[in-house]
Structure 1
Amino acid sequence: MDTRSIISALDPCRTDLTSLGQADVGAPGFGEPWHAQVFGLAMALAQAGVFSWAEWVETFSTEIRTHPQSGIETSEEAYYRQWSEALITLLRKTGAATDEEISETAEHWRRSYIATEHGKPIEFRRDLPNLPDIDDDHHHHHAPSTPAEPVSVSPAEA
């Protein structure tokens, strides 16, 4: 495997792609920054020859069939979960990343997520100590602290 071509394909300073808009390359909009990153990573690895586009389509299709959208996720959440898992499958299959590298990187992302202040972008760091998981009961769809009073309707006056 030619790692120089992989590094070149992943170079964020490439200028040959800056004039292309999303419509020009057929790229979807992205709801989260990591959606764009995982999408771009798969595209760059395919362009670098780490795997063929036919391999990508087969792997992604298999992931969609075997792990469809669950009842608790949006179609966008399911799509990028499936995209990420397909990419991990191909990284393992091609030897571009080992299970250990994938697990270690996932752990550093977990730590980075936990260490990031709510509402701020996550900055990936490898220097964080082991951090306990956040409270599983915590979610970001906060209800108002005081329940709203019912709206009362009075009859119209003439």
Structure 2
Amino acid sequence: MALHGDVRRARTLGTGRRSDGEGLDRGVRALHRAGQVSAGPKADADQARIRAALASVPGIPCEGEAPVFAEPWQAQAFAMALALHQRGVFRWKDWAEMLGEEIKKAQAAGDPDDGSTYYRHWMATLERIVAQKGIATPALLDRTYHAWEHAADRTPHGQPIELKPEDYRQAGR
């Protein structure tokens, strides 16, 4: 299934409001429009970036020309990678190599290689590249991971998970 509509920003990235069209999640909203008629220059640029990613990184689940996401976090991970690439953090060729390494490492550890874990490898690649480039330290990534775990534990089933300062305090213990 393709993800449609705006994706709310995580509390750590903003105020929980919808995107203003200029933020990191702007690309997520454009994902489902990748093969449709554009709505202007920004939409054309978003679509071009998405097509470049699809052409450069093999294995992205697609429906027609548009990537498909089973869960919102997958679309957010895709959008983060697009944003980092757009800002010159990495080249798609380098991303594809690193993603391939992550997939091979997971397969050697017994990953089922049935497509269900593709975006877990995508996330591992994101974590690896932001640590390598000095954007985030491994310690910060670990603390954020544990904060998300705490937030998930306190969130009722079916409700969106939002990070709060208390989640980071709990993660630091």
TM-score category, normalised to shorter length: 0.5 to 0.7
Superimposed CA distance per residue, residues 71-121 of structure 1 (whole angstroms, 9 cap, x where no aligned partner): 4x8623x10110000111101111111011111111111111111101112
Q: Tell me, in whole angstroms, the C-alpha distance in 1 between the residues paired with 2:155 and 2:34.
A: 29
1:70-109 residue pairs with structure 2 within 5 A? Answer: 70-71=111-112, 75-76=115-116, 78-109=117-148
Give the alignment partner of residue 43 of structure 1, picking from 77, 82, 90: 82
| Cα pair distance change 1:70/1:47, threshold 3 Å | same
Aligned ranges 1:3-152 → 2 under 5 Å = 12-14=19-21, 21-23=33-35, 24=47, 25=50, 26-68=65-107, 70-71=111-112, 75-76=115-116, 78-128=117-167, 130=170
The amino acid of 1:75's aligned partner reads G
CA gap of 1:53–1:40, structure 2 versus 1, over 3 A, is same
TM-score normalised by the chain length of structure 1: 0.65
Please state how far the C-alpha of 1:61 moved relative to its aligned partner.
0.9
Return the TM-score normalized by structure 2: 0.59
Identity %: 32
Q: Which runs of 5+ in 1 are unaligned?
A: 1-6, 132-158
CA distance in 1, matches of 2:19, 2:94: 25
Partner Cα distance (1:94, 1:14) in 2: 26
C-alpha offsets along residues 97-155 of structure 1, whole Å, 9 cap, x if unaligned? 10111111111111111111011121122323538xxxxxxxxxxxxxxxxxxxxxxxx
Q: Which has the larger radius of gyration?
A: 1
Distance in structure 2 (CA, Å) of the matches to 1:120 and 1:35: 17
Higher helix share: 2
1:127 partner SS: helix
Per chain length, whose mean CA-contact separation is higher, i.e. which structure has more relative contact order (CA < 8 Å, sep 6+)? 2
Aligned 8 A contact 1:50 1:96 in 2: no
